[in-house]
Structure 1
Amino acid sequence: MSVRNLQHLFSPNSVALIGASNKPHSVGVTVLHNLLGGGFAGVIMPVNPKYETLEGLHVYPTVASLPTAPDLAVICTPPATIPDIVTALGERGTRAAIVITAGLGAVKDREGVSMKDAMLTAAQPYLLRILGANCVGLLVPAMGLNASFAHTGALPGRLAFVSQSGALVTGVLDWAKSRGIGFSKFISLGDSADVDFGDTLDYLAGDPDTHAILLYIEDIRHARKFMSAARGAARSKTVIVLKAGRAPEGAKAAASHTGALAGADKVYDAAIRRAGMLRVFSTKDLFDAVEILAHTRPLVGERLTIVTNGGGPGVMATDALIASQGKLTELSPQTLERLDAILPATWSHGNPIDIIGDAPVERYRQSIEVLLQDRQADSLLFIHAPTAVVSSAVIAKAVAPLLRDAPQTTVACWLGGDAVAQARDIFSVAKIPTYDTPEDAVHGFIQIVQYRRNQELMMQVPSSVPSEFTPRYAAAQAVARDALSQGRSMLSEPEAKAMLAAYGIPVVETRVAHTVEQAVSAAREIGFPVAVKILSPEISHKSDVGGVVLDLETAEDVQASATAMHRRLSELRPEATLQGFSVQAMARRPEAHELIIGVTTDPVFGPVILFGQGGVAVEVMDDNTVGLPPLNMVLAHDMISRTRVSKLLAGYRNRPAANIDAVCRILIQVSHLVSDIPEIVELDINPLLTDARGVIALDARVRIRQPDTATGLERLAIRPYPKELEEWITWQGGPVLLRPIQPEDGAEHVTFFSALSPEDVRLRMFAQMHALQPSQLARFTQIDYDREMAFIATRKKINGGCETLGVARVVADPDNIQAEFAIVVRSDVKAQGLGTALMEKLIRYCRSRGTREITGEALTQNAGMLTLAKRFGFDIGPDFNSETTALRLDLRNDTADIQKRK
């Protein structure tokens, strides 16, 4: 389920309180007082057989005795009573309930069924939605609804707050109210037995009363549902997350470096970033982030210009910026020259710009005007410390209009207390984010930077099938299945390398030797020098037992080293089985860096990819980052850039830069490997050597298991580009490809839109448009394949490249009940059968997903669309002299069969 019936939860006309009471300090009396005291204009119906009246209201003995079905029920009765109450509510017609009662999972009936499961079973036939159990409740301040046992109400506002923690709900309510912060919705999820983060995000994304969404998350249970809902909400609204539980204990038992390094918090961090949301780490940051993101313009770059009347605060801001990996603006020669003309000779002559403490108002104004005209200045931080020369309020009045109307992002810091209080108020009225300290101001700016980066990552939808290389899927799959058939969960190093090689990952030549003599023969065949390593299923990290010897130059060296390794293994790990040795060619690359690329399986988000600095001290260095597959070059570069080793890879002194693109390709190849082979649980490539010549894997480790029902792409938290939906057709005597749209189609989509006649644009968009805005282009080409689909018809051009001829788009509701469609064909190729081909493709796709019906809307003048709809059996709504006509196709109806159209 998703948004079905949630309107009854968040916008009820009547509320029944099951378990209403007058017992002091009870939940029943607290909720009743909150319902009555909140100003709710709807009907309130208490239910409890022990009372006849409460607070002047008639009390009903049972749900069945209620005069009408309540839109919303609030239940605070003992756990064992709740399934029957839910059944009774469903029979009456109620479609939403808040279950405040705790402990439903622990209480079981005679058959061992928990009250939680019994409650959900009772609700299912009626599609009755349940918030909770074990929750504080719900507040909708604009309609006076306080269906909670919170100690205070909430002010009306435009923020929605959704929390798993009841304690945080009450704490944030108190904190926000004291600061005048209001809410559109205040939601306590509790156990999330039914309504969860994905459901609330889907609902709030379309809620006109909500401008920003704040989440307090402890855990996520349905990763793909959450990621799809989060990405959908983050496209239109600011979503900020306070995630609790940052300790790394969850990875203690991992068999690989990757499993140990990719702790649960890092995975959540990667998911939040990929979904286009912003993560913060305190309640104060949560609301600070809302203010700065709401009151700043979209960031066009990451360079910050700092202007101040004191050198010290400017240095403090610079230190904070650099410590956060921020970037200072390098002022242009023209800007420096203009500043020289208006500032004293003692000014800082660089960024930060210190205009000196004796600055009059005009110096502030002129300096800011110059800096805002510098094209290299993406953002401006204004810092002021009070002086006796001129009033801070006077300065604020002079510069606030400049900063308010600037095309750049602007933030401010007024240092001090009473002396700058009026200046702060002036900036607050001007909607300029203002902070008390330079460090806080920089932190606010970095939040904008990170949010912008996350929004860009959200738009990335990589392919499920690589175009850069052709993997040998069957070969990799055979390696995994052969090992599992032998009862093994760990691949040998040669097997692991064979799997990597099948996906185009360069590996050093490696051979298996079962005896010391075979190791010597293998070394001679490979050619000296060689490395020799033990093969033992019980030994995950060979170097821990002296199981790796490098740079062996002769056969005698190989024989002696292999014999010694066998002896050491027997002494240190007598229970371990020696299966033999791997012999591999030495990779002589003295300027190479040691990296690690790996995969682990998170219990929530599925496969997770890790990148970082490698080697035997990888855990000690702790320089790594994680990302969710699938990956593309943009996402891979982003992962690399978030590590310290990336600075080394860029080159230094006489050491040339490493081939970063080659590393990115390995990340992408590993992404495809783990997506394709569901048997992979953990994978390590460590070390992966990289230098200017490229990359090569020296060692590899893979742990496998029999896949469960969530195989293949279903394991991934983000659905990749579905290449399997590509289809070649013959149109007008030539080949045309019908395929899902991709972000890379952006430039050609602009060309396609430009080729539409003004009339065709009006018929499709219901308005005149001369060009696609960047936000519209992103929305059309960067889609969530789990929720929507856009098929384009594309063909190769004579002079190279491809051209888009038509687009068919369908967007399903979160429950996949109904999907809205639209089709447009390039104006110069209309009426030649391409619209028919796209419609057929769209209908087949919707049927394959189990969508029940397709709906649409067309202008009454759009004869071509109406004719196409009739041909496919759409029900066409009657024309009531309106401008539009409704279209509907029931996909469960045989008359919608495509073949019958013919």
Structure 2
Amino acid sequence: MEKFFNPKSVALVGVPRKTGVGAYNNLEILLKYGYKGQIFPINPRAEQICGLRCYSSVLEIPESADLAVIAVGRDRVPAVFDQCCQKGIKRVVIISQGFADGDEQGKQLQEDLAARAKSEGVRIIGPNTLGVYNVYQGFNTGFVDHYKPQRPDPVCMIAQTGVYQAGAKVFSENGFAKAIDIGNACDVDVVDVLEYLENDPDTRVIAVHLEGNKRGKELVRIARRVTIKRPIVILKTGRSAEGARAALSHTGSLVGDDEVFDAAFEKAGVIRVRSNSELQDAIKALVHFPPMNGRKIAVITATGALGIISTDACKDFGLELGPVPPYLPSKILKGLPKWVNLSNPIDIWPIGMISGKMPQVFETVLTDVLDSKDIDAVAVVWVSFKSPLHSDIDFREITARVQRIHKAGKPIAFWFYGDNVEKANKEYGSIAGVACFPTIERAIRGLSFIYRYHRKREEPKADSFDVKVDRLSRDKLVKKGNREKILVGEEAFALLNAYGIPTAPGKVVHKVSEALEAASSLGYPVVCKVSDRNFIHKTEIGAVEINISSEEELKRAFNRLLKIIKNRNNLQERPNILVQKQIRGHELLLGLKRDPCFGMVLVCGQGGIYTEIYKDTARALTPVSLREAQGMLSELKLFPILKGIRGQRGVDLDQIASAICRLSALAEDIDGLMEVDINPFMVNSSGSWAVDARFIW
């Protein structure tokens, strides 16, 4: 990646002869950007462009270049790429469009280029890209004369579009220091760039626009490692079905299940944002703010109404209001009417107006909340006017002094209203540890981003969970599963038991007499259900009988199920009917599904016949630690009920978390397994049991 960002020489293939307005000449742009390296323009129809000698082909340039930038029609790209390979150029940016972003022919051309590059040891950015820019090196491969910041924010933007390069100042106040558009990502992808940026001294924050990714496991592994050193913010697009189709058209990206990406980003410790405004706020917060070690904030406000809005925003973004410092009231309320009170949000306007000491009140309050061990950050709602009559409420110098004294140790987020907002944002935003936002909600959201990053960064290393496995039993069952592609009934339960996952007591029977014997052994009430690979969703076709409390009820249930089997299977084989001890409690779902990008995804949530309706589930990539399993349970809307409410006893949450970890271990061990469905997984205050299970290879 170094030669993409810092090439000492570059060959530009397809440079237009025209310059100036409407030319979109990347040589002209590169020179204007201030690049000092050697440039080889290539255009067989020109002798000179922008004062530099032109060459008729890549093969004609006097020496190999660090990088080639190809901007010719797509049908001409393969021949030019071959010339680059012959010339020994190992890094290539392909600007041209119409590959996987176009039609089937373009998709094939792209696959052929990627294969040729791999065989030649050449790395490609693109196709369909603006390429790379690096402000510090004056380097820019694109054909758009966009803003070049003099003092850029220490941010590198990785995207699958050129929008973030062309509009860098929109997304980061001072523009990005570096940016790379990976385009269709036929070779170089987000993972490659993240790995390069891990130790890049110029980059403090990594921002990513992602449509899709083929190396999911590597993305999680590398991002987890990088985010310990610097934050990663990802805007994952294509969340909806319509967005996914648009992404496929735009860059040929396979978008994948959005909820799986959520689980992957959580595992990796990255900050996911869902809109460009969130991306802006996250970048600003991560660039300007110091670490935020807890979720408690103080709100200093000039208006009670905005204090209430701030309180709502704290709840929305996972923060909370901290206590007012204990000695603060005695410092600022002395001599004031008794109706003036102090709470968080701290409305200082009436205090300052009545006392006539607005600047002193602000400084005292700001100092005390920053001193407080119970406050982790500050949000300020303030007003800024142009009129000199209100110069007394310009607290820029006070804020800067207080931050200097406190060594900018805690973040301060400002939102200004009034007729002088632009100037206030610029002046206050230059103070260390301070950032200004367009609304108070976005200011508090900015604080939430810095809190989320440092919470994930300081999270303890995943704890190990030892699972003793009956390997002999497991291997025998897996061999059969691989051969028959499915396990249900007793065999599915046996595989769960091999990993220590409890199952409801029961027995598969074939005759009424056997059913009666099993029920007598188990004790009534019992459940009777068809146990057959052809009966996946048993409830929908009436293949389950519950609340069976006597022999007569069991006989009727057995005969009814037998009739269903005959109608479905013509009874070519002897019927398999499971008689099971009926267990009462809450119905959960535990499951696994292999994602083509990220591997095994573990799901837990509300189970039973209403699973698809309530959609109360949590997901995590395997392996799942005990702490992650407990976190998954706490995410569920059902969680307060599982803990126990209104005098009801709670369930054994530790045992459920243990089952999740054991299922995760199973997922990691068994190759080729595609899906596992344990529904319901019954839980009550006495324990937990798998009641139905299915394994699919």
Q: Secondary structure at the match of 2:468?
A: coil
- Find the residue that maps to 1:34 and give its secondary structure: helix
Read off the aligned partner of 1:327 and give its amino acid letter.
E
SS of match in other structure, 1:357: helix
Deviation at 1:141, TM superposition (A): 2.3
**Residues 1:690 and 1:382: Cα distance change in structure 2 (over 3 Å):** farther
Q: 2:486 aligns with which of 483, 490, 495?
A: 490
- Structure 1 position 327 matched with structure 2 position 328: no
Say if 1:263 and 1:102 are closer, same or farther in 2 by CA, change over 3 A: closer
Counterpart residue number, 1:363: 361
Q: Deviations over 1:347-384 (max 9, x none)?
A: 55543333453522222222333333432223332333
Map of 1:383-394 to 2, 5 A cutoff? 383-384=381-382, 391=391, 393-394=393-394
Q: Deviations over 1:321-344 (max 9, x none)?
A: 223343332557677777766876
Task: Give the whole-Å Cα distance in 2 for the aligned partners of 1:27 and 1:477.
Answer: 68
Which position in structure 2 is the counterpart of 1:738? none
Compared CA separation, residues 527 and 651, structure 1 to 2 (3 A): closer
Deviation of residue 698 (structure 1)?
2.5
Counterpart for residue 577 of structure 2: 581
Q: Is the 8 A contact 1:608 1:626 kept in 2?
A: yes
How is 1:202-601 mapped onto 2 (pairs within 5 angstroms)?
202-247=195-240, 264-330=257-323, 345-347=338-340, 349-359=342-352, 360-384=358-382, 391=391, 393-402=393-402, 406=406, 409-431=410-432, 432-456=434-458, 460-461=461-462, 463=464, 466-467=465-466, 469-485=467-483, 487=484, 489-567=485-563, 579-588=575-584, 592-601=585-594
- The CA deviation at 1:623 is 1.8
Give the secondary structure class of the aligned counterpart of 2:228: helix
- Kept in 1, the 8 Å contact 2:593–2:675? The answer is yes
Provide the aligned length of Structure 1 versus Structure 2: 675
Does the CA contact (< 8 Å) of 2:300 and 2:379 recur in 1?
yes
The 3-state SS of whatever aligns with 2:59 is: coil
In the alignment, structure 1 segments of 5+ residues that lack a partner are 1-5, 252-261, 706-902
Corresponding residue of 1:41:
36
Counterpart of 2:126 in structure 1: which amino acid? G
8 Å contact 1:411–1:441 — kept in the other structure?
Answer: no
Is it true that 1:64 corresponds to 2:59 in the alignment? yes
**CA displacement 1:777-830 (0-9 Å, x = unmatched):** xxxxxxxxxxxxxxxxxxxxxxxxxxxxxxxxxxxxxxxxxxxxxxxxxxxxxx
CA distances 1:642-694 after superposition (whole Å, capped 9, x unpaired)? 33222333333312443332222121111101101123211222232334444
- What displacement does 1:504 show? 0.9
Instruction: Report percent identity of matched pairs.
Output: 28
Deviation at 1:96, TM superposition (A): 1.1
Distance 2:498 2:344 in 1: 52
Amino acid across the alignment from 2:312: D
Whole-Å separation in 1 of the counterparts to 2:533 and 2:20: 61
- Distance in 2 (alpha carbons) for counterparts of 1:89 and 1:417: 58
CA displacement at 1:472 relative to structure 2: 1.4
Looking at structure 2, the residues matched to 436 and 532 of structure 1 have their Cα atoms a distance apart, in angstroms, of 62
Alignment CA distance shift 1:55-1:420 (3 Å)? closer
Change (3 A) 1:342 1:228: farther
Aligned to 2:131: 137
2:97 aligns with 102
| 382-391 or 30-39: bigger deviation | 382-391
10-19 vs 338-347, which moves further = 338-347
Q: Which amino acid aligns with 1:75?
A: I
- Superposed CA offset, 1:421-441 (max 9, x none): 554444212131222333222
C-alpha RMSD of the superposition? 3.4
CA distance change for structure 1 residues 424 and 23 in 2, over 3 Å: closer, same or farther?
closer
Q: In the superposition, relative to structure 1, how do residues 697 and 194 fare at CA in structure 2: closer, same or farther (>3 Å)?
A: same
In the TM superposition, what is the alpha-carbon distance from 1:415 to its structure 2 partner? 4.1
Taking the aligned partners of 1:390 and 1:174, their CA distance within structure 2 comes to 32
Closer, same or farther: CA 218–373 of 1 in aligned 2, 3 Å: same
Q: Paired residue for 2:143, among 130, 146, 149?
A: 149
Residue 394 of structure 1 and its aligned partner are, at CA, apart by 2.9
Structure 1 residue 11: Cα displacement: 0.8
From the superposition, tell whether residues 422 and 542 of structure 1 become closer, same or farther in structure 2 (CA, over 3 Å): same
- How far apart in 2 are the matches of 1:681 and 1:250? 26
User: Equivalent residue for 1:76?
Assistant: 71
Call closer, same or farther: CA 1:337–1:362 in 2, change over 3 Å: closer
CA distance in 1, matches of 2:339, 2:501: 58
TM norm structure 1: 0.69
Contact 1:330–1:376 (CA<8 Å) still a contact in 2?
A: yes
Kindly state the Cα deviation for residue 272 of structure 1 after the two structures are TM-superposed. Answer: 1.5
- Tell whether the 8 Å contact from 1:492 to 1:535 is kept in structure 2 after alignment: yes
Cα deviation per residue 1:543-578 (whole Å; 9 max; x = unaligned)? Answer: 212222222111111111233344467779999999
Q: Is the 8 A contact 2:293 2:455 kept in 1?
A: no
Indicate the residue corresponding to 1:719 in structure 2.
Answer: none
Pair 108,558 (structure 1): closer, same or farther in 2 beyond 3 Å: closer
CA change 1:332–1:421 in 2 (3 A) is: same
Give the deviation of 1:267 after TM superposition.
Answer: 1.1
In structure 1, distance between residues paired with 2:628 and 2:621: 9
CA distance in 2 between counterparts of 1:319 and 1:64 reads: 65
Secondary structure in 1 matching 2:508: strand
Contact 1:95 1:128 in 2 (8 A): yes
TM-score by length of 2: 0.87
Secondary structure in 2 matching 1:680: coil
Q: 1:520 to 1:113 in 2, by over 3 A?
A: same
- Tell me if 1:638 matches 2:634: no
Tell me how far 1:30 sits from its aligned partner.
2.8
Where do 5+ consecutive residues of structure 2 fail to align? 245-254, 353-357
Question: Which whole-Å CA distance do the structure 2 matches of 1:164 and 1:573 have between them?
Answer: 52
Do the aligned residues in 1 keep the contact of 2:233 with 2:271 (CA within 8 Å)? yes
| 1:61 aligned counterpart, secondary structure | coil
